Each structure stands twice: as C-alpha cells, then as structure tokens.
Structure 1
Amino acid sequence: MIRQRTLKSLIKATGVGLHGGRKVQLVLRPAAPDTGIVFHRVDLDPVVDFPADPYSVCDTRMCSGLERDGAKVGTVEHLMSALAGLGIDNLHVDVDAPEIPILDGSAGPFVFLLQSAGIEEQQAPKRFLRVKKAVEYREDDKWVRLEPYDGFRLDFSIVFNHPAIDKTSTQVSIDFAEHSYVRDVARARTFGFMQDVEFMRANGLALGGSLDNAIVMDEYRVLNAEGLRYVDEFVKHKVLDAIGDLYLCGHPLLARYSAHKAGHALNNQVLRVLLEDSSAWEIVTFEQDAATPAAVSHQFELSLA
C-alpha cells in the first residue's frame, strides 16, 4: 500500500519574505491522516487557517498566495513543491507573517528542513487525484494542459528574449518514474531581471530580494558570482513552481502536465478547469501492491532517496 506521509517531529526555520522584506518565523508540524496541508497565520488573533485549495488562490502576479477572511499568506509555491516532491500529505505550517520565507529562492532548503524532521508513513492510503481526460487553459500564446498518465510527468518550455536564458536549455521533461525531485528539480532558483527588481521595489515589492535568494540578470548576463546550479535552471524553476501550484489541489496528481510560457495564474486556472468537470478526474488509492502502477511505486520510492 502507498501510504500517506507526515513529519516525525516539529521543525522551525527563520527567513525573510521576498516581497515584504520582513523577518518570518516558520514552524512545520506533523498532522493526522487526511488533514492535508494547512497554513496558519499565527500572528493574527484569532489565528487564520488556510487549507491548500486552488479556489483560495488570490494573487498570482509574482507568486501563489492564499486568502481567507481577508487575511493572506503568500509565496507558498516553493514549500508546496517540496512537500509534493517528498510525498508529504499532511502538515501544519505556522507562519507569523503574510508570506512564507524565500530562503535561497528554491525548494532545496525546504527539502532539507523536511528531511531533517524525518518523514513518517501513516496508517492510511495515499489519495491521488487521477486525471481521466485531457483539459487545458490558454491565454494568447500561453497554454497549459493536463492529460491522463500513469504517473506524474511535466513538460515545460519557456521563451525569454534574453541572451543569458537563450544560452541555456529552454525545454525540459521531468518524469518522476525516472527523475529524482531532490536531485533534479529542488535546487532550481527563482529568477528575475535587474530592471524589473528596481521597478518592483519602487512599488513596494521584492523588498527582500537579493542575489542570495534569486538568479538576477542585467541586460546581458547572470550577475550571481556562482553562476547557475543546473544548465537548464531557468526552465527547471518553472517546473518547480508548477509542482507546487498543482499540489494546491490537495492531492498528488496522476497526470501529464504540459505547458508553454505558463506561470502561477495558468497553473491555477487549469486546476479549476479540471475540478469543475467531474468527469475529468477521480480520487484513487492503491491499497494492493499488485494494483499500483510501476511508475507510481518508483516515484514514491525515489522521493525518499
């Protein structure tokens, strides 16, 4: 049986919010089976809870944020990506600010925190959301699609008119029956352009952004002294984001995801298109090993490697 997972113990971290620039305290706590991922704004009185839910997504300009009762918690996608990559189903996330800390701009530090706390299998079957028929969402030349697949595969392509990006791979395919989230995806950092950073700061955004938590480029080159972590780091970060955005549906997907020039907004919209067509999906469990697709078994073995 493929089981649900949570953490063995509580773990804490401190960081800076990317947009607000504020110090943020983060606490990750184990949760009971079938709890899901729930964020808690513990700095508010009363505390506001934000269950992972694509219909709570409120701000997709520069991140994925959740809103409830007028309160918000932003930049959830990197932590959600790490949780999906490690197969963690149930977790309480306490945060004392309006956004999750950016840390180094990737999911790598979250993976380290989660692995340090320890991952525990629970006495309940993991509930997958299986896509039964193709759905898609388009805006101009941007598009995103979900199709049936016995596993989880992501195909992504980007187009940026910038020499530093054009020198790298701008297409990537990640199939978690073959690839390791920790090794192949988790360390890809968010990226931006110096002129955009200056504009955002003038408008009260990206106040916590720096070369320590993003790849930053001027008109010609990458400014980070250490360069890139992957030869295709730009497009891999888009995959990292997509994994986190899609995990807001509350379950791991059994699907093939394909996208071109997509971002947080399109990822959220395709989830809504899917969920609003009850014939396009179903919830499944694999309680008998013989019924488990080989790709799914291998994916969740790799997630603990």
Structure 2
Amino acid sequence: MHPTVAVPAEISPPIGSRRSQATLAAAFARAGRGLHTGGRAHVRVSPAPADHGIVFRRRLEDGRVADVPGLWRYRESQPLCTALRRDGVLVRTVEHLMASLRALAIDNALVEIDAEELPIFDGSATPWCAAILAAGRVEQAAACRTLRVTRTVAVCDGRRTLRIEPGPGLHVAGHVELSYFGRIDWAGAITPESFVGEIAPARSFGRFFRAMAGRVYGFAARKPFLQGCSPHSAALLVRGHVIGGLRVPGEPVRHRILDVIGDLALVGHPVEGRITAAHTGHELNHALVAALMADPAAWELA
C-alpha cells in the first residue's frame, strides 16, 4: 500500500477560477530503471521561469545536452509508452511525470535526464506525486491560460473510442472490459486530490505471460521493449488475478485514465472538458490531441 500523500488546499482553486502559472519551490532528484530499456536513469526536476513549460533536457553519451519540449508536436509513436523526439533526440515514457505535474498544477519545470527513458518505479505515478508535493509549489507573476473545449472532438479505432466535449474543469469517464475481470469503469472530476488518491496509485498493467514473452523478444532482438517489466514495475494479470493484488479497485481502468491525463498534458495548457474513454491507449490518446489541436474552432484559450 502507498502512504497517504497530503495535497495542499491552495493547489485546488474552484472550477472556473483564474490562477497564476506555477513552478516547483525546490528541485528534486529521483533514479530508477526504465520499463522498456531496463536501464537506470537519473532525473532532476527543477523550477523554471514563467512560460517555460515542461522541457526535458537529455544529457547524451558524448556530453552534449539537448532540450525536448513536452509538447504534442514532438510526440513520436513508440510501443506502450509516450515518447518525444526533437532533432533526433528521444525521451520516452514521460506520461506519468507529465500527468503528475499537470494534475498538481505545475506549469513550468526543467526535467534533466541522463538516459532516454524516465524511471517506471512501481508502475504508478505516486512516486512522482510524492516528490512534487515534497518539493512544494510556488506561483509566478504570469497568468495561467486554460484550453477550454468549445465543441466535441472524437476519435475511434474499432471498439476503442475517445471523446472530449465542453464542460467545466476536467472530468474523465473511463471504461475497459477484460477477460476474467469483466467490465471496469471509473468516472470523476480530476482534481489534485482525486488524482493523488484515486488515479496516481494505479499501475501499468498487462497479462503476465504476454509481458514476459515481450521481454524475451526484446532481449533476443536487442530492442528496448519491456526489459524492465516485472511484478515490481507493473500490475501483471494471471487470468482473473493480479500478482500481489490490486492497489485500488478497478486499477486497470484508472491507469488508462492516468495515461489519458499525461498524454493530454502535451497540449501545453490545462484542459477543461469532459472526456469519455473506452479501451483507449496511447495511440488513440495522441490521435485525440492531434485532432483537437488541428481544429481551432473546437477550443479557446481562456
């Protein structure tokens, strides 16, 4: 079980209220293995000035550094994660940190990393949330602009569907249906409190035997695919059971919602709207973001 993580009240302004941009009050550092590369990465997340956004600064093996903004236009399709590439430099598995920063109202931060993949930790976003809350938050002089959805945008791929429509705040309704588990649903407003308590603890998940087969394939093919996957870094399913048990009720659908929030953060602004997601994944999440941003009549910056 995760320890209780307290959320300061000032992070949660009433829906519809204006707020200033914010950054971290202090830097923090974390280290761990990547889900796909299996390699160890050291990450330092530091305060950044207003209008900086979330930027990943990767230190390359030859000593050079390269900046990759956490924005949708730099997204690159990679298996089972959200990846960014700019000028040939790749940073992958950014979704849990992006979701945590957005949910905890951190608009500006510099994320320095010495490898291509962020740590997966236990497969959840709770370690990132704990670090952000321990570092603290400070407001800045510039106003925070919110992307407010003004008309419905939807994408689908067979039974996978994802839709965002106008509505106050950010509300997500998620649905998955899994063999041996049946129908799993979760719906609610995404606030700092609900994210930390109900969404962040949900781990990446998959079928145990498929995950282990994928890990063997990645090793044999010398590809960065699930090399760090284990019961310590994901919720692995065996028929109708989870190895080690569930962290929260309906954990799989909550993790899909966690990924939606992280992928939506690549818009670069807080988003106000109502999301309905069924069997979504990273590819569909990014298709929705791209469709939304390609239709300026579907949103306004407030």
TM-score under structure 1 length normalisation: 0.88
Is 2:52 the counterpart of 1:38? no
1:22 aligns with 2:39: yes
Percent identity (aligned): 36
Pairing 1:200–2:214 present: yes
The equivalences for 1:68-83 within 5 A come to 68-83=86-101
Residue in structure 2 matched with residue 300 of structure 1 by the alignment = none
Q: 1:219 corresponds to which residue?
A: 239
**For residue 243 of structure 1, what is the aligned residue in structure 2?**
261
What SS does the aligned partner of 2:301 have? strand
CA separation in 2, counterparts of 1:60 and 1:137?
19
Query: 1:193 Cα deviation (Å)?
Result: 1.1
Deviations 1:96-141 (A, max 9, x none): 1111100111110000111111111111111111111101111112
Q: Assess if the C-alpha contact under 8 Å between 2:103 and 2:191 holds in 1.
A: no
Separation in structure 2 between the aligned mates of residue 269 and residue 4 of structure 1, nearest angstrom: 27
Cα distance, 1:220 vs. partner? 4.1
User: d(CA) in 2 for partners of 1:46 and 1:178?
Assistant: 36
Question: Is 2:199 aligned against 1:185?
Answer: yes
SS at match of 1:21: coil
| 1:292 corresponds to | none
Is 1:65 the counterpart of 2:83? The answer is yes
The 2-side partners of 1:209 and 1:62 are apart by 12
Name the amino acid aligned to 1:76. Answer: V
Q: Is the 8 A contact 2:206 2:234 kept in 1?
A: yes
Q: Is the 8 A contact 2:27 2:47 kept in 1?
A: yes
- Name 1:265's counterpart in structure 2: 283
Kindly provide the amino acid, as one letter, of the partner of residue 250 in structure 1. G
Counterparts of 1:132 and 1:60, CA distance in 2: 31
Residues of 2 paired with 1:118 and 1:230: CA distance?
A: 26
Long gaps (5+) in structure 1: 285-305
Aligned to 1:151: 169
Alignment CA distance shift 1:136-1:66 (3 Å): same
Give the whole-Å Cα distance in 1 for the aligned partners of 2:263 and 2:119. 17
In the TM superposition, 1:66-215 aligns within 5 A as 66-161=84-179, 163=180, 165-166=181-182, 170-176=184-190, 180-204=194-218, 205-215=225-235
In structure 1, what is the Cα distance between the partners aligned to 2:114 and 2:83? 15
5+ residue gaps, structure 2: 1-17, 219-224
Q: Secondary structure at the match of 1:229?
A: coil
Q: CA-to-partner distance for each residue in 1:208-231, whole Å, 9 max, x for gaps?
A: 11211111122342222xx11111
Partner letter of residue 171 of structure 1?
Answer: D
What is the correspondence of 1:249-288 to structure 2 with a 5 Å cutoff? 249-284=267-302
Q: Quick check: 1:5–1:90 contact (8 Å CA) kept in 2?
A: yes
Once the two structures are superposed, what CA deviation does each residue of 1:36-70 show, in whole Å capped at 9, x if it has no partner?
A: 11011123543121111112111242011111112
Maintained 8 Å contact 2:20/2:140: yes
Q: Distance in 2 between matches of 1:34 and 1:231?
A: 38
Q: Which has the higher strand share?
A: 2
* 1:3 pairs with one of 20, 36, 47: 20
Number of positions where the alignment pairs a residue of Structure 1 with one of Structure 2: 278
Partner of 1:295: none
Task: Give the CA deviation at 1:177.
Answer: 6.0
**TM-score, scaled to structure 2:** 0.88
